[in-house]
Structure 1
Amino acid sequence: MKDEQNNIISALGVAMTFDVSLEIERRLNFLKDYVRSSGSKALVLGISGGVDSLTAGLMSQRAIRSMRESGYDAQFFAVRLPYGTQADEQDAQKCLSVINPDRIVTIDIKAATDAMMEAVNVDAKDLLSGPRHHFHLGNIKARQRMIAQYALAGSSKGLVIGTDHAAEALMGFYTKFGDGAADVLPLSGLNKRRVRSVAQKLGAPDDLVFKTPTADLESDAPLKPDEDVYGVTYDEIDDFLEGKTVSPSAHHKITAAYRASAHKRALPVVPIEIA
């Protein structure tokens, strides 16, 4: 059991020690170096109202401002991507006020999402209807959001920032080619408590830092806590990623989720060349 845990920790790039100030500096330098080396002129990030996008947004805006101070012309776009009216819109707006981005763009994805679902239903309604209808609709929402962000990035010579981190990567808790798609992942290798630590250090208020994490994708269960889906807590996930001992039940659920979601963390499979 311990060997598998250690292998997962290594695969997800989780460090055994953590200094929040050094980690912020390292990741800001990474962002700035990558923007320069790629010749990009913008960073684009969807802001949901949760701590992950808040943290990535604070890092992105800080990196861009630092680059402008040194003479590099770049900007940060914070993008609101509601599906109609978002249940926690107030939190999303508060995140924007904390980040203070260069530009805020709002794109309502409801019309595009509903149109895609309607188009698929013409010949395949039997596949998407039933008890998992809202699950499939949620995946379409996530992919429409990424379409919008790449439209902005493409028009501004920008890079799309993703919010995936080690805890979500471990559990496979994201939509493949939806919120799992991005050019840069500044939170990679951090577990949830370390993401929160970074957010606090960057000046985020506690009510946003410690807000109950939700995906808010399934319309029939808005703001459903991530932990209810996992069947384990973020504390258990974070302990696992820090090499600590968790209960046998939590260990089983975590490793089972990691194995089942392997395809999300892999490049598309190709035929093996035979010599």
Structure 2
Amino acid sequence: MPTRQQEIAAVLKVVPPFADLAALQAEIDRRIGFIQERLRASGLKTLVLGISGGVDSLLAGRLAQLAVETLRAAGGDAASDYRFIAVRLPYKEQHDERDARAALDFIRADEVCVVNIEAGVRGLAAQLAHLHCLPAPRRDFVLGNLKARCRMAAQYAIANATGGLVIGTDHAAEAVMGFFTKFGDGACDLAPLSGLVKSQVRAMASHLGAPEALVHKTPTADLEELHPGKPDELAYGVSYAEIDAFLHGQPVSEAASARILAAFDASAHKRGLPLAP
């Protein structure tokens, strides 16, 4: 009978460890093909993705750019219309702006635009009386989720305006921990990194030639103003190495296993469709 560890890996469709570089390249090709297939099937021509400066959006962005470039090269009716729009979505001044610019330099998107969400977040927050009476840490957390949702609203507005699909960056290591904002960065039309663990995301980005400083950069959602640059692993209570090992069916400590299982169970509502009678 499958263990919970195996059941979770199956639910998240976790990709087994790459056997060699050929397997890694095959996975890159498969995901580029997936993006192309879904874009063609939609009848649309544009892909939209927010670029943060982290390795997840860096990889997803480069896959998207390669996908549209190949579609254009293949020719056909209106093939020249395929394009990828990379969107910078800072709140005020982003502390790792240099990393975001380096990511854009690597991705080489057809179009880059910048939408600063500060005014929108502040304007909406000012109208929400329920936020005003919250203790500072709780208010900061709620505002962090509001930022993520404003970013996704901006991406969908751009996609609507340009006839496009929104790409997400969720992968198995974040999905198992529920480390995304519901209807925020968890909302998208395509999730080309789905099923990958963090080490695989890094390996694929490195194989494509991404700067190693970005590939191995400490991951952070950077949504909380009281804890700027807070590492994902600090929020998790476990390391990405432990999460990856768990998802690949390898031994982990009892404490790590318990933390991962608890996070998976608590975040089930984020991974499911809305409840209905």
CA-CA distance at 1:254 after TM superposition: 0.3
Matched, 1:106 2:114: yes
**Which residue, out of 177, 187, 195, partners 1:189?**
195
Partner of 1:119: 127
The alpha-carbon distance between structure 1 residues 239 and 124, as it changes in their structure 2 partners (threshold 3 A), is closer
Partner of 1:8: 8
**Which residue, out of 27, 52, 57, partners 1:53?**
57
Q: Give unpaired runs (5+ residues) of structure 1.
A: none
Size of the aligned set, in residue pairs, is: 269
Secondary structure at the residue paired with 1:163?
coil
Secondary structure at the residue paired with 1:183?
coil
Identity within the alignment, %: 54
Instruction: Tell me, yes or no, if the aligned pair for 2:148 and 2:181 is still in contact at 8 Å.
Output: yes
Partner of 2:86: 78
Partner of 2:95: 87
In the alignment, the residues of structure 2 paired with residue 138 and residue 174 of structure 1 have an alpha-carbon distance, to the nearest angstrom, of 11
**Which residue, out of 14, 31, 35, partners 1:27?**
31
After superposing on structure 2, the runs of 4+ consecutive aligned residues of structure 1 that deviate more than 3 Å are: none
Instruction: Tell me, yes or no, if the aligned pair for 2:137 and 2:226 is still in contact at 8 Å.
Output: no
In the alignment, the residues of structure 1 paired with residue 257 and residue 131 of structure 2 have an alpha-carbon distance, to the nearest angstrom, of 38
What is the one-letter code of the residue matched to 2:117? I
Partner of 1:170: 176
What is the one-letter code of the residue matched to 2:116? D
In the alignment, the residues of structure 1 paired with residue 125 and residue 2 of structure 2 have an alpha-carbon distance, to the nearest angstrom, of 44
CA-CA distance at 1:15 after TM superposition: 2.6
What is the one-letter code of the residue matched to 1:56? A
| Cα deviations by residue, 1:79-122 (Å, 9 ceiling, x for unpaired) | 0000010010000000000111000010000000011111002x
What is the one-letter code of the residue matched to 1:61? Q
CA-CA distance at 1:17 after TM superposition: 4.2
In the alignment, the residues of structure 1 paired with residue 108 and residue 135 of structure 2 have an alpha-carbon distance, to the nearest angstrom, of 41
What is the one-letter code of the residue matched to 1:211? K
The alpha-carbon distance between structure 1 residues 2 and 239, as it changes in their structure 2 partners (threshold 3 A), is farther
CA-CA distance at 1:133 after TM superposition: 1.1
What is the one-letter code of the residue matched to 1:26? R
CA-CA distance at 1:228 after TM superposition: 0.4
TM-score (norm 1): 0.96
Secondary structure at the residue paired with 2:3?
helix
In the alignment, the residues of structure 1 paired with residue 110 and residue 135 of structure 2 have an alpha-carbon distance, to the nearest angstrom, of 41
TM-score (norm 2): 0.95
In the alignment, the residues of structure 2 paired with residue 129 and residue 20 of structure 1 have an alpha-carbon distance, to the nearest angstrom, of 47
Q: Give unpaired runs (5+ residues) of structure 2.
A: none
Query: How large is the Cα RMSD of the aligned pairs?
Result: 1.2
Partner of 1:65: 69
